[in-house]
């Protein structure tokens, strides 16, 4: 059963925009969740969860799941843990996983901060992906942006030595903010060099929304940082 917990004492970096859910997505949330979903609130044992030892990559906010399912299919040697609070998007991802017969993805419907803090062991992740997070463009809402110093240090605690933290955004102002936060964060090094953005790596597959943005001339900024060895 999908259930999202919310800590009312903290500033939330997301808004649950449920939107329209198709019958297929609704069926997937019921019928496919037992195969891919995680309900337990205990610490996660990835080798047991996936039934094998393999690199574990966490994607926060996978949207409709298009990119996550495609990435999992392209890199079957990796295990992928996706966190999302948008249930129609989760339903869509589950449908894609079943259609492609993928078994290297597991899904959690919850606040990413809570999951990182309470359910993921230190130094257990090989990479954390945060692609196109909500930019909260209005100045008065900047405090809601997920990428802040405390969150970055939480990610660092969960990454293995030389682990990768990869963020992509198409909001220039947010990109500058992220670059500043990560550049001053203890224990991280910019793969592209000080003050630089990285070229898009092959593993970050283009989505139809990004391709549409490219046609409109929208720039995308990739920031790739690694923890110290």
CATH number at residue 154: 3.40.50.150
pLDDT band for 9, please (50, 70, 90 cuts).
very low
β-bridge mates for residue 67, sequence order: none
What token pair was written down for 131? 């692609």
| Helix/strand/coil (H/E/C) assignment for every residue in 27-61 | HHHHHCHHHHECCCCCCCCHHHHHCCCCCEEEEEC
DSSP letter assigned to residue 224: E
Check residue 8 and give its pLDDT.
39
How does DSSP assign 122-186, residue by residue?
TT-EEEEEEES-----SGGGGGG-S-SHHHHHHHHHHEEEEEEEEEEES-HHHHHHHHHHHHTST
Model-level pTM?
Answer: 0.90
Domain of residue 95 covers 43-227
Rounded Cα gap, residues 228 and 165, in angstroms:
12
How does pLDDT run across 49-91, given as a tens digit for each residue? 999 999 999 999 999 999 999 999 999 999 999 999 999 999 9
The two beta strands, 105-108 and 125-131, are unpaired
Report yes or no on 2 lying in a domain: no
Report yes or no on 17 lying in a domain: no
β-bridge mates for residue 96, sequence order: none
Report yes or no on 72 lying in a domain: yes
Report yes or no on 76 lying in a domain: yes
Number of domains the chain is built from: 1
Contacts 24+ apart (CB under 8 A), 157-160: 157/122, 157/123, 158/58, 158/116, 158/120, 158/121, 158/122, 158/123, 158/124, 158/125, 158/128, 159/123, 159/125, 159/126, 159/127, 159/128, 159/227, 160/123, 160/124, 160/125, 160/126, 160/227
Neighbours of 75 (CB within 10 A): 16
Q: Of 104 and 41, which is predicted with more confidence?
A: 104
Active site residues: 134
- Are 207 and 168 contacting, i.e. CB atoms less than 8 angstroms apart? no
Q: Of 163 and 229, which is predicted with more confidence?
A: 163
Check residue 13 and give its pLDDT.
47
Check residue 142 and give its pLDDT.
86
Report yes or no on 15 lying in a domain: no
How does pLDDT run across 133-186, given as a tens digit for each residue? 998 788 886 898 999 999 999 999 999 999 999 999 999 999 999 999 999 999
Dihedral, CA atoms, 83, 89, 94, 98, nearest 10 degrees? -130
Rounded Cα gap, residues 80 and 93, in angstroms:
12
Check residue 119 and give its pLDDT.
97
The two beta strands, 105-108 and 188-190, are unpaired
Report yes or no on 198 lying in a domain: yes
Report yes or no on 176 lying in a domain: yes
Report yes or no on 33 lying in a domain: no
β-bridge mates for residue 223, sequence order: 167
> Mean per-residue pLDDT for 115-142?
92
DSSP letter assigned to residue 67: H
């Amino acid at each position: 059963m999908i259930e999202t917990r919310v800590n009312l004492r903290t500033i939330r970096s997301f808004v649950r925009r449920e939107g329209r859910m198709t019958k297929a997505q609704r069926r997937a949330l019921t019928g496919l969740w037992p195969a891919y979903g995680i309900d337990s609130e205990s610490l996660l044992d990835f080798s047991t969860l996936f039934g094998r030892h393999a690199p574990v990559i966490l994607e926060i906010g996978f949207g409709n799941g298009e990119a996550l399912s495609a990435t999992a299919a392209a890199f079957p040697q990796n295990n992928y843990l996706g966190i999302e609070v948008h249930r129609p998007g989760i339903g869509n991802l589950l449908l894609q996983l079943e259609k492609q017969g993928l078994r290297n993805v597991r899904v959690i419907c919850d606040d990413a901060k809570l999951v990182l803090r309470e359910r993921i062991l230190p130094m257990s992740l090989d990479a954390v992906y945060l692609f196109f997070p909500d930019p909260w463009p209005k100045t008065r809402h900047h405090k809601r942006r997920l990428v802040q110093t405390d969150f970055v240090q939480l990610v660092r605690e969960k990454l293995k030595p030389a682990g990768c933290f990869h963020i992509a955004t198409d909001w220039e102002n947010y990109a500058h903010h992220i670059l500043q936060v990560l550049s001053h964060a203890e224990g991280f090094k910019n793969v592209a060099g000080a003050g630089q953005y990285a070229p898009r790596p092959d593993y970050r597959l283009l989505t139809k929304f990004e391709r549409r943005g490219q046609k409109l001339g929208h720039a995308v900024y990739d920031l790739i940082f690694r923890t110290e060895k």
